[in-house]
Amino acid sequence: MRMRRKPWARPELAACPYFIDEPQTLRGRWAQAFSRPQPVWLELGCGKGSFLTQMAEAFPGVNFLGIDIKSEVLAVARRTLSARFEELGRPVDNVLLTAYDIERIDQILSPQDQVDRIFINFCNPWPKARDHKKRLTHPRWLVKYQQFLRPGGELWFKTDDDDLFLASHRYLGECGFVLAYETRDLHRSGFSQSPPTEHERMFTQEGIPTKFLIARWPGKDAGGSRPPARAGEAPSPAERE
């Protein structure tokens, strides 16, 4: 669904101290843009910011970068973040937001910008075969993420779409990621470290289970071309169906 144009969005973002208007200027030095040196977790397609807000609140010792192509949704995310942190009596000092096309993410993040974790939540499944290369878990994108994902870093992926989930398994294996955890029904699995997104709540109300996986990037020097292991490296017991 297309979001209506919000006249207040750009002025509010322009005045926001944690919104980055020209992210290209920080390529290779994102660490300097945060208030303090901490691990960096990246959400691709952060939307209205519900997930990002919950994570930033729960992990003050982590720096978060939220990217979305639409400034209108980022303005909503800014309001969500600011309102919640005001309730907590805390400044929003571990989050940066920026509007950018993820297809060109290598223009704003470089190997010097070591990211420890990437979140991809309920991205467009692009069901038609001719559009599969647009999927954010497609190898075309994964090789870009590998440029800035730290060896040992993780990609956390959630979706309601069965075909996309199965295809993402294959894509990740082709690109040398190692499967560390998976479940076909996140809310029944006992895994509690991934708070719900806006879409997730909607799908749950409709009875659609959330598929979830964690894939670890071993790094090119660690044999990153090998297929993923279905191993028990999971942080909590996987519910395999």
Residue 240: pLDDT above 50? no
User: Class for domain 37-106, per CATH?
Assistant: alpha beta
- Global pTM value: 0.89
- 32: which residues sit within 8 A by CB, 6+ positions away? 26
Give dist(CA 191, CA 238) in Å, integer. 8
pLDDT tens for each residue of 166-180: 999 999 999 999 999
Per the document, the length of the chain is: 241
| Domain boundaries, given as residue ranges, for the chain | 37-106, 114-241
User: 16-20, 41-45, 192-196 — which is least confidently predicted?
Assistant: 192-196
Confidence of residue 46 (pLDDT cuts 50, 70, 90): very high
User: Class for domain 114-241, per CATH?
Assistant: alpha beta
Longest dimension (CA), the chain: 50
Supply the pLDDT for residue 49.
96
The yes-or-no answer to whether 37-106 and 114-241 have a common fold is yes
Give dist(CA 161, CA 123) in Å, integer. 10
Supply the pLDDT for residue 48.
95
